[in-house]
C-alpha cells in the first residue's frame, strides 16, 4: 500500500505567489504625501514616524502608498518546511543632499498575514 505524503511544503511557494499577486492587484490607497518624484525627505520622515511593529500590509499601503521596490528574502529554512521569508518594501525620498531610502520589513508565520517587523532609513 503506497504511503501518502504531506503536501504542506508545496503551500509555501503558492503562498508567496499569492502575496505577490495581491501586491500587483492592490489599488492605490496612499495618502497624497506618498513618495512621488516631488515628495521630500521631511514628508517621508513624518509618515515613517507613524509606522508600528505589527502593522498589516494594507495599513502600510494606506500610510506610505505603493513601494517603489519589493523583494522577498529567504529566511534560510529547509525547502521542505513551510516558510514565508521576509518581504521588503523600499520607498525613495528626496533629501537636501541626496535621496534616502526607507526599507520596511514584513515577516509572518506560514498561513498568517505578513506584519511589519522593522524599518530603517538607508542613505543612497
- Each residue's pLDDT tens digit, 12-69: 444 444 444 444 433 333 333 445 555 788 888 999 999 999 999 999 999 999 999 9
In a domain, residue 110? The reply is: yes
d(CA 59, CA 51): 9
Q: What is the per-residue pLDDT for 96?
A: 66
Which pLDDT does position 64 carry in this prediction?
A: 95
C-alpha cell at 78: 529547509
Number of domains in the chain: 1
Domain that includes residue 65, residue range: 32-123
pLDDT of residue 78: 62
What strands lie across the sheet with 86-93, from one edge to the other?
Answer: 69-73, 86-93, 100-107, 115-123
Give the pLDDT score at 75. Answer: 72
Say if residue 119 is exposed, middle or buried (CB neighbours under 10 Å; 0-12, 13-18, 19+): buried
Higher-confidence position of 49 and 78: 49
- Find, among 6, 13, 10, 9, the residue nearest to 85 by Cα: 13
Encode pLDDT of 103-121 as tens digits: 999 998 888 899 999 999 9
CATH number, position 44: 3.30.1450.10
- Looking at residue 123, its pLDDT comes to 79
In a domain, residue 8? The reply is no
The reported pLDDT for the residue numbered 8 is 41
What integer pLDDT is reported at residue 94 of this predicted model? 81
Residue 1 placed within a domain? no
| pLDDT on residue 6 | 39
| 24 is a domain residue | no
Q: Is 0.85 topped by the overall pTM? A: no
Amino acid at each position: 500500500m503506497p504511503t501518502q505524503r504531506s503536501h504542506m511544503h508545496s503551500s509555501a511557494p503558492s503562498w508567496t505567489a499569492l502575496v505577490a499577486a495581491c501586491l500587483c492587484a492592490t489599488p492605490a490607497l496612499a495618502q497624497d504625501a506618498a513618495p512621488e518624484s516631488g515628495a521630500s525627505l521631511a514628508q517621508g520622515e513624518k509618515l515613517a514616524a507613524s509606522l508600528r511593529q505589527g502593522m498589516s500590509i494594507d495599513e502600510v499601503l494606506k500610510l506610505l502608498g505603493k513601494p517603489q521596490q519589493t523583494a522577498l528574502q529567504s529566511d534560510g529554512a529547509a525547502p521542505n518546511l513551510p516558510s514565508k521569508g521576509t518581504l521588503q518594501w523600499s520607498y525613495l525620498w528626496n533629501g537636501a543632499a541626496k535621496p534616502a531610502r526607507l526599507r520596511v520589513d514584513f515577516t509572518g508565520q506560514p498561513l498568517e498575514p505578513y506584519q511589519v517587523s522593522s524599518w530603517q532609513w538607508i542613505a543612497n
